[in-house]
Structure 1
Amino acid sequence: MKSKLIAISMILLMGCSSTRLVSTWKNPDIVLFDAYQVLVVGMVQDDNARMEYETKFVEALKEQGVDAVRSMDLFDVEFTTSERSEEELEEVEQQLLDKGFDAILFTKVVGTENRRTFKEHINDVDKMFMRFTNDYLEHQEIYYDPEYYDTFNIYHSETSLYCICVGKEIELIWRGEVDVTEPANVNKAINSYIKLVTKSMGEEDVIF
């Protein structure tokens, strides 16, 4: 019984984690990649969330000795308010190259998944209901408790690192896929996300 409770507790603790690294990909032609000036781009509609994300990621990069700039400090306010053409983006790439940037760290949400969970009866893991009345009484809140089922969103996001290389098209160096469970505290979720991504890049000899 005790071992089962420990196992279930571990599963629940893991499930409570709001940020999870799903997978990573690194360009097989790149062994080490050092970046000296990185543009941090958070593709988010909410301006406050974008500012918070880009600011904290810039701070995390600077702590590691990497110069970084927020996209919101570089792009005009109007730039993200409407659709841009391929030619306009190529002009931006050239401007970044001219200003000494050698990498772009680009994060976006690529999908959202709605899920439902339900209250766990941890104390009754080993209970076998032999009578209908006991089973019914134990679980009847399913009928009337609005919080028995908890609906939440999982945001599937990607962070990609692109190299701005002279004489080349911008080349993908590294990509990480991360699932973020709808957080109660956005700031903590952003901190966890950045910590997870930077740790993974460091382990794969990217930037750090």
Structure 2
Amino acid sequence: MKLKLIVLGILVLSSCSTAKLVSTWKNPDIVLFDAYKVLVVGMAKDEAVQMDFESKLVKKLEEKGVEAMRSIDLFDVDFTSSQKSEEELSEVEQQLLDKDFDAILFTKIVGADSKRTLKERINNIDRMFMRFNADYLEHQDIYYDPEYYDSFNIYHLETSLYCICVGKERELIWRGNIDMTESPNVDKAVDTYIKLITGEMEKQDIIFY
């Protein structure tokens, strides 16, 4: 089955909804992390899936008293219609600072197990991106390459929390990696993913504590 969806990582589980936390990483200099205004970014070709994921995650953040905004409400159509340079992403980060954002919650697919690979990116699944712009640049083909995903069964998803606070160099605060099996029920997949990832963040005193 060809899945034209996700992103954000979003997506994908079987009817029995299999989702497994594979690993997490937390900045050793951080005991707990509070965020007051978070930008939720989900990379997805399918705009409906991206909207559903970002909307549900924003709602979850707001339930915790955290102001949040979907990237689809902040970035105009032109932003994702062309590839961005490091300089342009640095400008975006500065704009976020100017708008009082202090964190970016970024989700995407980084690999999949099947007969075909994610443009060979599965070989880079263990790479650690410490800056948002480097992470975005590495994976922005999700928007443009029609063969980025094809006939996958198990998806490797990743959610990263970046601080964009002044003086903290917009560094990586926390990262979670989850494996999910493909499913025709996208809504259920999104709900399962958000529940799992936010539950783990709560255990580690990252926003949801």
TM-score by length of 1: 0.73
Residues 85-115 of structure 1 show CA distances to partners (whole Å, capped at 9, x for unaligned) of: 1110000000000100000000010011128
Residues 105-129 of structure 1 show CA distances to partners (whole Å, capped at 9, x for unaligned) of: 00010011128xxxxxxxxxxxxxx
Once residues 98 and 188 of structure 2 are traced to their aligned partners in structure 1, the CA distance between those partners, rounded to angstroms, is 36
Structure holding more strand per residue: 1
Q: Decide whether the 8 Å contact of 2:23 with 2:177 is kept in 1.
A: yes
Q: Does 1:108 align with 2:101?
A: no
Say what the alpha-carbon RMSD is for the aligned residues: 1.8
Letter in 2 for 1:35: A
Residues 52-87 of structure 1 show CA distances to partners (whole Å, capped at 9, x for unaligned) of: 110110011111111100000000111011110111
SS of 1:169's equivalent in the other structure is coil
Structure 1: runs of 5+ lacking an equivalent: 1-14, 116-150
Cα deviation, residue 16, structure 1: 3.8
Q: Where do residues 126-165 of structure 1 align in structure 2 (5 Å cutoff)? A: 153-165=153-165
Distance 1:93 1:152, change over 3 A: closer
Q: Which residue of 2 aligns with 1:82?
A: 82
Once residues 170 and 87 of structure 1 are traced to their aligned partners in structure 2, the CA distance between those partners, rounded to angstroms, is 15
Stretches of 4+ aligned residues off by more than 6 angstroms: none
Q: Which residue of 2 aligns with 1:173?
A: 173
Once residues 200 and 109 of structure 1 are traced to their aligned partners in structure 2, the CA distance between those partners, rounded to angstroms, is 18
Tell me the number of residue pairs that the alignment of Structure 1 and Structure 2 aligns.
Answer: 160
Q: Decide whether the 8 Å contact of 2:110 with 2:156 is kept in 1.
A: yes
Once residues 152 and 79 of structure 2 are traced to their aligned partners in structure 1, the CA distance between those partners, rounded to angstroms, is 32
SS of 1:84's equivalent in the other structure is coil
Q: Does 1:46 align with 2:46?
A: yes
Structure holding more helix per residue: 1
Q: Percent identity?
A: 67
Cα deviation, residue 152, structure 1: 6.1
Instruction: Please identify the structure whose Cα radius of gyration is greater.
Output: 1
Q: Which residue of 1 aligns with 2:68?
A: 68
Cα deviation, residue 156, structure 1: 0.5
Cα deviation, residue 170, structure 1: 1.1
Q: Decide whether the 8 Å contact of 2:17 with 2:192 is kept in 1.
A: no
Bigger relative contact order (CA 8 A; separation at least 6)? 2
Once residues 182 and 25 of structure 1 are traced to their aligned partners in structure 2, the CA distance between those partners, rounded to angstroms, is 25
SS of 1:157's equivalent in the other structure is strand
SS of 2:153's equivalent in the other structure is strand
SS of 1:162's equivalent in the other structure is strand
TM-score by length of 2: 0.73
SS of 1:197's equivalent in the other structure is helix
Once residues 19 and 33 of structure 2 are traced to their aligned partners in structure 1, the CA distance between those partners, rounded to angstroms, is 25
Residues 20-61 of structure 1 show CA distances to partners (whole Å, capped at 9, x for unaligned) of: 111111000000100010000001111111111101100111
